[in-house]
A and B are shown apart, each in its own frame.
Chain A
Amino acid sequence: DAGVIQSPRHEVTEMGQEVTLRCKPISGHDYLFWYRQTMMRGLELLIYFNNNVPIDDSGMPEDRFSAKMPNASFSTLKIQPSEPRDSAVYFCASSEAGTSYEQYFGPGTRLTVT
């Protein structure tokens, strides 16, 4: 199994630009999670989906952030417009219902907004 796949691995953009992060979960997993990691705030859950449906988006910082999961094998996290304080590493993780709910993390996308 290829594991959770994220793209791009690194993204550098200017303030005000739109940024789209992509994630492919492990095949057969029912849950998909988006996290943000910074030195100051640690690891924060932004949103998670179950069977492509958003369940809890209470961690999404503001309206500039949006996430979609159009099918079981693809999700996007979009920031529009981006700001320097959005600079962070964004992780996608997936898990399978009916098991230990262990979450498997992707390699992350390091976002730098200048």
Chain B
Amino acid sequence: ELKVEQNPLFLSMQEGKNYTIYCNYSTTSDRLYWYRQDPGKSLESLFVLLSNGAVKQEGRLMASLDTKARLSTLHITAAVHDLSATYFCAVGNFGNEKLTFGTGTRLTIIP
């Protein structure tokens, strides 16, 4: 059974600082996704990573995938308040279309 772990679960950081959220998964997969969820809202797709070594960047967020280590990271550069949200990683189950979601990381950016 595929298990997905994120850490940290909660993260408070000051504006302007850098930090990284980690997503580990337990079995082979060829697809990894990052989503953002604002309080009371739906999930918004941020990144889709489909191959080992894939790196994608959008603004202050950068995601990478290491399939050999079964690890993805979401790096935040020079955080701003607007990035406060819960971030989920989701891993594709090999051979089918299901996604297994991590527990989420609640990020709070403090001015």
Mark B residues whose CB is within 8 Å of A: 31, 33, 35, 41-45, 48, 50, 88, 90, 92, 96-101, 103-104
Contact = CB atoms under 8 A, between A and B. Distances in A.
* Secondary structure of the A contact surface, majority rule: strand
Given A48-B97, A48-B98, A102-B48, A42 B103 contact: yes
A48 B90 CA distance: 16
Contacts of B97: 31, 48, 50, 55, 95, 97, 101
Interface of A: 31, 33, 42-43, 45, 48, 50, 55-56, 91, 93, 95, 97, 100-108
Contacts of A108: 42
Given A42-B104, A45-B99, A91 B42 contact: yes
Contact of B88 (A43, A55, A102): A43
A43 B104 CA distance: 9
